């Protein structure tokens, strides 16, 4: 069990012939005018040679802060959240913070105990895309909290970082309408989170403005198979067949393409399909998906920045990040 006895600041102090306090000051970077340049140099080189690393537990205990944030996500297996994490971690790292991931079970239901699983003590929580009722368990701890992709909160609620989801949907609808589509079915994710509720509402609102539009909705789970089934239902429903399937995510769009093809329909000649998220999947498919690009890293980065500001007691205005339609091969003029 090598390495179990790492050098302590006292070891460094002894080796350098100074006191522990001096070591702490020098290594803490707050010695300007309190320790001589020469002594500081000695301390630093001795610490380096000994391979000294401050003990995080002791420091946390003393400071009362851990310099660690907890990022709560509904599912780790999704590329979007991986990118959110990457963005958060980048900003955190730049500020000497760490980020610990906590995949909330099922993404739904109150997170049982944000502190059991993530053993490390936490300075604050960043919750991403959580279901409405999942918040209780988190805000509970009285910890500083930032909400990502969860809609504008109350005026005095936690800071928020949101995506312009409604605008994204609007861009998709207008894209489809401009291509001549009127019979558009929304493949809606059957998930009770802000982002999906906004998508559903916006599709309805936007289509209501279009003369001759025939909106419809088909609900489905978040996986390929479920979306394929929903697409088949949508395309075989009584009445004129929809010419476009507007899907709540790229994964759903992939399923929709499969469903259409299983009926002998071609994408996009017979039916156009649009996605949302712009995952790698969007360009892995053939044809590539028309979709909406989400600045996932930026969401994570701004979320972490908001948490840092919150910890500093600084005011944190809500953020809304723009999204962008990416037109590719899966949509074309209505037949």
Q: Considering only residues 33 through 92, tell me which ones interact with a second copy, judged by CB under 8 A.
A: 53, 55-58, 60-61, 64, 66-68, 76-79, 82-83, 85-86, 89
323 binds DNA (CB under 7 A): no
Nearest approach, Cβ of residue 14 and DNA (Å): 10
| Closest to a second copy by CB, 100 or 131 | 100
Q: How many residues bind to DNA according to rule CB under 7 A?
A: 31
Q: Residue 61: exposed, middle, or buried by beta-carbon count in 10 A (0-12, 13-18, 19+)? A: exposed
Q: Considering only residues 236 through 275, tell me which ones interact with DNA, judged by CB under 7 A.
A: none
Nearest approach, Cβ of residue 167 and a second copy (Å): 25
Nearest approach, Cβ of residue 262 and a second copy (Å): 9
Specify whether the CB–CB gap between 165 and 321 falls below 8 A.
no
What is the SS3 assignment for 249? coil
Tell which one of 188, 257, 273, 308 touches a second copy (CB under 8 A): 257
Phi, psi for 79 (deg, rounded to 5): -55, -35
Q: CA-CA distance, 250 to 79, in Å (whole number)?
A: 11
Binding mask 7-36 for DNA (x = CB under 7 A): -xxx------xxxxxxxxx-xx-x--xxxx
Q: Considering only residues 287 through 326, tell me which ones interact with a second copy, judged by CB under 8 A.
A: 313
Dihedral angle of Cα 89, 93, 96, 97, to the nearest 10 degrees: 0
Backbone φ/ψ region at 158: left (φ over 0), alpha (ψ -120 to 50), beta: beta
**What, of a second copy, DNA, none, does residue 89 touch, CB below 5 to 8 Å by kind?**
a second copy
Nearest approach, Cβ of residue 139 and DNA (Å): 22
User: What secondary structure, in 3-state letters, does 152-220 show?
Assistant: CCCCCCCCEEEECHHHHHHHHHHHHHHCCCCCEEEEEECCCCHHHHHHHHHHHHHHHCCCCCCCEEEEE
Q: CA-CA distance, 39 to 48, in Å (whole number)?
A: 14
Partners of 324 in the beta sheet? 293
| Residue located via tokens 């996932």 | 296
Nearest approach, Cβ of residue 68 and a second copy (Å): 5
Q: Considering only residues 47 through 86, tell me which ones interact with DNA, judged by CB under 7 A.
A: 52, 54-55, 58-59, 61-64
Q: What's 241's DSSP letter?
A: P
Task: Give residues in contact with a second copy (CB under 8 A).
Answer: 1-4, 6, 53, 55-58, 60-61, 64, 66-68, 76-79, 82-83, 85-86, 89, 93, 96-98, 100-101, 103, 115-121, 141-144, 223-225, 251, 254-255, 257-258, 261, 280-281, 283-286, 313
Would you tell me which residues interact with DNA (CB under 7 A)? 8-10, 17-25, 27-28, 30, 33-36, 38-40, 52, 54-55, 58-59, 61-64
């Amino acid at each position: 069990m090598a390495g179990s006895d790492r050098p302590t600041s006292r070891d460094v102090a002894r080796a350098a012939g100074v006191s522990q306090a001096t070591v702490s000051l020098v290594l803490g970077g707050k010695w300007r005018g309190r320790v001589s340049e020469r002594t500081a140099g000695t301390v630093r080189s001795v610490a380096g040679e000994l391979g000294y690393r401050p003990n995080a537990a002791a420091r946390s205990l003393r400071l009362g802060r851990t310099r660690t944030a907890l990022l709560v996500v509904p599912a780790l297996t999704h590329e979007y959240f991986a990118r959110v994490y990457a963005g958060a971690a980048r900003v955190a790292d730049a500020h000497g913070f760490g980020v610990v991931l906590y995949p909330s079970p099922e993404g739904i239901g109150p997170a049982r105990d944000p502190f059991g699983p993530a053993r490390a003590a936490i300075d604050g929580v960043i919750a991403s895309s959580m279901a409405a009722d999942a918040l209780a368990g988190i805000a509970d701890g009285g910890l500083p909290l930032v909400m990502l992709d969860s809609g504008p909160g109350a005026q005095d609620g936690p800071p928020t970082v949101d995506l312009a989801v409604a605008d994204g949907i609007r861009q998709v609808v207008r894209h489809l309408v401009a291509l001549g589509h009127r019979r558009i079915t929304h493949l809606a994710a059957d998930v009770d989170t802000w982002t999906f509720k906004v998508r559903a509402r916006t599709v309805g609102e936007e289509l209501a403005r279009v003369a001759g539009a025939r909106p419809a909705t088909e609900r489905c789970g978040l996986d390929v198979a479920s979306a394929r089934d929903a697409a088949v239902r949508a395309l075989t429903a009584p009445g004129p067949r929809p010419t476009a399937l507007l899907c709540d995510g790229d994964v759903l769009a992939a399923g929709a393409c499969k469903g259409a093809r299983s009926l002998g329909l071609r994408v996009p000649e017979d039916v156009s399909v649009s996605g949302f998220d712009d995952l790698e999947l969007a360009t892995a498919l053939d044809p590539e998906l028309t979709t909406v690009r989400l600045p996932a890293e930026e969401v994570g980065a701004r979320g972490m920045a908001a948490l840092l500001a919150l910890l500093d007691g600084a005011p944190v205005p809500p953020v809304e990040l723009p999204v962008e339609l990416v037109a590719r091969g899966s949509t074309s003029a209505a037949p």
